[in-house]
Amino acid sequence: MTDQPSSPLNDSAFLQDLRNQMLKFARLQLKDEHQAEDVVQEALAGALRNAEAFARRSALRTWVFAILKHKIADSLRGQYRQAAVFDDSACNIGEDGDDQLFDERGHWQADERPQHWSTPQSLVHNRQFWAVFDACLNRLPAAQARVFMMREFLELESAEICAAAEVSTSNLNVLLYRARLQLRECLENHWFAEPQGKSR
Amino acid sequence: MMNCREATRLMSEARDRRLNLMEKASLKVHLWMCSGCRNFDGQMDSLRDLMRMYAHEDDTVDSGKPDDRSSGVEK
Task: Report pLDDT digits (tens) over B18-60.
Answer: 999 999 999 999 999 999 999 999 999 999 999 888 766 544 4
Q: Within chain A, what is the greatest distance between any pair of CA atoms?
A: 67
Contact A127, B67 (CB under 8 A): yes
**Within chain A, how many helices (H) and strands (E) appear?**
9, 0
Domain boundaries, chain A: 8-83, 88-198
Q: Nearest CA of chain A to the CA of B68: how many Å? A: 9
Contact A1, A49 (CB under 8 A): no
pLDDT over 70 at B71, yes or no? no
* B40 contact A CB<8A: yes
Q: Nearest CA of chain A to the CA of B32: how many Å? A: 15
CATH 1.10.8 for domain A8-83 = no
Rounded mean pLDDT of chain A? 78
Q: Which residues of A touch B61 (CB under 8 A)?
A: 21, 127, 130
Q: What is the pLDDT of residue A69?
A: 79
pLDDT in tens, chain A (200 residues): 444 445 666 778 888 888 888 888 888 778 788 989 998 988 888 777 766 666 666 667 777 777 787 788 778 777 655 544 444 444 344 445 566 899 999 999 999 999 999 877 788 888 889 889 888 988 888 788 878 888 887 778 888 888 777 789 999 999 999 999 999 999 999 999 877 666 54
Q: Which residues of B touch A128 (CB under 8 A)?
A: 67, 69, 75
- Contact A124/B53, CB-based, under 8 Å? yes
Q: Which residues of B touch A133 (CB under 8 A)?
A: 50, 54
**Within chain B, how many helices (H) and strands (E) appear?**
3, 0
pLDDT over 80 at B7, yes or no? yes
Task: Report pLDDT digits (tens) over B8-17.
Answer: 999 999 999 9
Q: Which residues of A touch B54 (CB under 8 A)?
A: 130, 133, 153
- Contact B13/A173, CB-based, under 8 Å? yes
Q: What is the pLDDT of residue A116?
A: 93
Q: Tell me which chain A residue has its CA closest to the CA of residue B41.
A: A114
